Structure 1
Amino acid sequence: MITCVVHYTIDPSRIAEFEEFGRAWMKLVDRNGGNHHGYFLPAEGASDQALALFSFPSLADYERYRSLFGVDPDFVAADQIRDSSGCVVRYDRTFMRPMLPER
């Protein structure tokens, strides 16, 4: 399993637009073989930081999902929310492997 951690710097005045953007991407990840663990938004105090975490069974599965960027109309529409609203100032991705509790 590979987990993508996306660190966002957001415009705090556009939280509603960021939430709309996030809801669209959660559906796209889950629909295309991933497991979205959610977005983590500022809760108390002023902050411009947010996180998203989602996993795919393998890097190859993630790459298949990424191949849809800019091609699939739903992916284009989700990016349009970000681009037209200005809710995301910048972002970066890190790939991690989870160490989960033994069950």
Structure 2
Amino acid sequence: MRHGETNWNRENRIQGGVDIPLNERGKEQARDIALRLTHTVIRYIYSSRLSRALETAIEIAKFHKLEVLTDSRLDELRQGKWEGMKVSEDHILKNTCVLILWGSTGI
């Protein structure tokens, strides 16, 4: 599942491998999904090492009395010099491939 909101999500910035924590809304989202999953049987919880994903996973793990297992293979792909840039910036807008991937729900 996807992590809760960060300030960079709100600002439409590319996060990539930058470790951006959840903002207050993201923390609320993590608590909400944790509550909704209370009656779901969960045996393992895996997370990337990035705090936004880990914070979300920890909220869910609390209700199931589980440990969160982190794995670097789940870390978000690095985006190089694009990290921190807004998606609306000209040099990103010119790359159609990035726009297609950015807006895709199937990836």
Using the size of structure 2 for normalisation, the TM-score is: 0.29
Whose Rg is larger? 2
**Structure with the higher fraction of residues in helix conformation:** 2
